[in-house]
Amino acid sequence: MRISLFIAAASLMIAGAGAIQHRSDAMTVNVGTQPQVVRVADITTGTGGIQTWTRMMELGGLDTYGKTPQTLFVPSDAAFQTIPTSEIRELMIPGSNDLRRAFLARGATDSRLTPEDIAGKRISVTTLDGRPLTIDATGEELMVGDAEALDVQRLPDGRVIFVLDHALSR
């Protein structure tokens, strides 16, 4: 499945217009140094959602960086199925904070990026782990590093989630 910048921008406008519904059974995640509740469980896509990533975030990891992630590059649930099961198990162990922290930080930046901001551009941002990440919005596909963005969602607090077809290379 491919996503054009037009579709991504339309998705953000729909999300901003209140298409993201909050359910009372939604999971919440504290992200950043200040306690901020972000409801990500309500965001699902045609690719199967981001529930695996949500469970990982609940275990913690990004809250120790001192910067609040404004843009998250999240593997879809289908993308997590391509990661070896043993690696997923290790990431989900409550005591695996360093490994999980590294995995989550590779897919987060404190820069807020929307499709409107990057349309027709190729830019580089620094992820929370200090590495450069190239985002290429010059072609038909919106590429984030070596992954394709399948969907883009805006959280109610303005942060942006790019749902990817696979986890970013380490």
Amino acid type, 66: G
Q: How confident is the model at residue 26 (pLDDT cuts 50, 70, 90)?
A: very low
* Segment 86-102, tens digit of pLDDT: 999 999 998 888 899 99
Q: What are phi and psi of 49, to 5 degrees?
A: 90, -170
* Segment 31-79, tens digit of pLDDT: 444 334 444 444 544 445 899 998 898 888 777 677 889 999 999 999 9
Residue 21 scores a pLDDT above 90? no
Q: What are phi and psi of 86, to 5 degrees?
A: -65, -35
Least confident among 60-69, 120-129, 153-162: 60-69
The full set of domains in the chain, from first to last, is: 5-17+26-164 (2.30.180.10)
Helix, strand, coil shares, percent, the chain, to 5: 30, 20, 45
Percent of the chain with pLDDT strictly greater than 90: 49
CA torsion, points 90, 72, 12, 118, in degrees to nearest 10? -140
Q: How confident is the model at residue 170 (pLDDT cuts 50, 70, 90)?
A: low
